[in-house]
């Protein structure tokens, strides 16, 4: 097995073990083992799991690469665009993006490798080509890197918030015509697998939304997150009092749509090779149609 090294610059204060668990998307106990074994350094020095990180500190971590990467498999998804540098795909609801502990069914990554075997070796061996992700039950547009150069460019754009994103959401309640939710979020210490506002170790998060229509007890929103935290839109809207319809974690399921009513609608980024800004929008799922009749649909919040 080989070793993978990663380095992060801390942008939000918090405990070392909680910070890395969130960044690496692994359990806190696994992170604590890495820290205690000397695989984690803060500014070049070993620290305890309870070390309190300060903004600007640099955290490096070394992990063992898993022996076997994901295998190609037949998986349904739609290819929106492709060139020699990137692929843009439309992920259906119910499809997990990449393999992870506890995930037994084929993922989008398995399907990508079936379609384009040359993706193996781009980025992480376990997540080839993946520079961002959507929750399993969220549908919509994603960009995938086809070369290491494209991977690094897109990764940097997401980190620097140069990527513009918009989502369609159907929520409960009557939100205002426009809103901003600037609250930091982190792992919920009382509920594993959940995130919350006001958690002990948090990261900056910012979400903007426009109300496109009110349909009785439900509202249709165009949501534009400025950051990309795990479950960010779901946590923020639930915290604001407008949980997403069909959300089994932060709202009530199944709801009138029979699925999580969240769809990644449009994505805009700088093409890794050409440098020009490009934009791609995904097909709106049929489940959203009853809520979108006669609705004027901007692509991004800034367009309205």
Q: Tell me: the pLDDT tens digits for 204-256?
A: 899 999 999 999 999 999 999 999 998 999 999 999 999 999 999 999 888 88
Domain boundary among 141, 159, 177: 159
> Is 70 contained in some domain?
no
Domain boundary among 105, 140, 159: 159
Q: Which of 220, 216, 217 is nearest to 177 (CA)?
A: 220
Q: Identify whether the C-beta of residue 288 lies closer than 8 Å to the C-beta of residue 168.
A: yes
HSE (side-chain half, CA atoms, 13 Å) at 234: 25
Residue 30, domain CATH: 3.10.290.10
Active site residue 135: yes
Q: Average pLDDT in the 252-281 region?
A: 94
Query: Model confidence over 71-128: pLDDT tens digits?
Result: 999 999 999 999 999 999 999 999 999 987 777 889 999 999 999 999 998 988 889 9
Residue 34 sits in the same domain as residue 119: no
Residue 278 sits in the same domain as residue 217: yes
Residue 15 sits in the same domain as residue 49: yes
> Is 253 contained in some domain?
yes
Residue 181 sits in the same domain as residue 281: yes
> Is 264 contained in some domain?
yes
Residues contacting residue 258 through CB under 8 Å, at least 6 positions apart: 246, 287
CA–CA distance, 251 with 245 (Å, rounded to integer): 7
Residue 122 is part of which domain span?
78-159
Out of 4-8, 19-23, 26-30, 57-61, give the one with best mean pLDDT: 57-61
Domain boundary among 113, 132, 159: 159
Q: What is the count of structural domains for the chain? A: 3
Q: Which of 17, 90, 135, 247 is catalytic?
A: 135
Residue 144, domain CATH: 3.30.2350.10
Both tokens assigned to 123: 């980025």
């Amino acid at each position: 097995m080989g070793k993978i090294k990663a380095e992060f610059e801390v942008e939000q204060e918090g405990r070392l073990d909680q910070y890395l668990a969130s960044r690496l998307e692994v359990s806190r106990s696994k992170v604590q083992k890495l820290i205690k074994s000397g695989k984690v350094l803060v500014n070049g020095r070993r620290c305890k799991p309870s070390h309190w990180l300060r903004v600007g500190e640099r955290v490096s971590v070394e992990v063992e690469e898993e022996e076997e990467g994901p295998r190609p498999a037949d998986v349904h998804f739609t290819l929106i665009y492709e060139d020699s540098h990137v692929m843009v795909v439309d992920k259906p609801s119910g499809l997990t993006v990449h393999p992870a502990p506890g995930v037994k069914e084929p993922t989008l990554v398995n399907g990508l490798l079936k379609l384009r075997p040359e993706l193996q070796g781009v980025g992480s061996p376990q997540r080839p080509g993946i520079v961002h992700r959507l929750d399993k039950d969220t549908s919509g547009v994603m960009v995938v890197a086809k070369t290491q150069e494209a991977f690094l460019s897109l990764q940097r754009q997401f980190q620097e918030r140069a990527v513009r994103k918009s989502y369609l959401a159907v929520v409960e309640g009557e939100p205002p015509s426009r809103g901003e939710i600037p609250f930091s979020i982190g792992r919920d210490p009382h509920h594993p697998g959940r995130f919350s506002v006001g958690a002990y170790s948090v990261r900056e998060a910012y979400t903007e939304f426009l109300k496109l229509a009110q349909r009785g007890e439900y509202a249709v929103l165009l949501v534009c997150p400025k950051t990309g935290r795990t479950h960010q839109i779901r946590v923020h809207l639930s915290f604001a009092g407008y949980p997403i319809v069909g959300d089994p974690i932060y709202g009530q399921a199944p709801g009138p749509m029979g699925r999580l009513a969240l769809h990644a609608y449009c994505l805009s980024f700088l093409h890794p090779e050409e440098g020009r800004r490009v934009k791609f929008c995904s097909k709106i799922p049929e489940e959203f149609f009853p809520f979108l009749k006669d609705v004027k649909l901007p692509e991004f919040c800034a367009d309205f």
